[in-house]
Amino acid sequence: MKIGYARVSTLDQNLSLQIDALKDAGCELIYQEKISGKVKERPELVEMFSKLRKGDIVVVWKLDRLGRSLKDLIHLVSKMQELEVSFLSIQDAINTDTATGRFTFNIFASLAEFEREIISERTKAGLIAARARGRMGGRPPGFTKDTISKIKAVKVLYDKNDKAMVEIAKDLSISRASAYRFLEIAKQWDIEKLKS
């Protein structure tokens, strides 16, 4: 069975073009969604996956209608392959039922893996360089976003040099010992790059 998936990003956009193309491609069932691709939860997509059966073909008008990113797209198509479901993108001429379509998709997967490895290598190199300069990168292990915010606040208030540590601790509702500990952490870690 051919099952279509159509999506537009905003409520005022129209699905008609995609739906017509999906019907022309022979889709018997079409799931429609008016939601940004950046939104993680897409109810119609989840519903479609729950109904997929071995031998079905998922059809989209264009690749970007299905996935938010290359990584997301590869994840979704891999899930289809696990279910023994084929995938067809009309505009991109990708059909995983054909050798060429599978080859094209494997190239995408390889590029995504290559990109992840490059990002990982750059991150490791950056951390090594930061440590060589006596700084730590990333988020200190085991700290919550709230704690990171307080670490930053302690450093900022301490650097202003207009309050004693007792006052800083009181303002942030932490103990004086925690305030001193947070200040030491702020000195070791690259405080500007901490993600709170």
**Active-site residues: which are they?**
9
* Phi and psi angles of residue 138, each rounded to the nearest 5 degrees, phi first: 80, -165
Cα separation, 48 vs 143, in Å, equals 38
Query: How many CB atoms within 10 Å of residue 140?
Result: 15
Q: Is 181 exposed, middle or buried (0-12, 13-18, 19+ CB in 10 A)?
A: middle
Dihedral of the CA atoms 162, 166, 171, 172 (nearest 10)?
A: 120
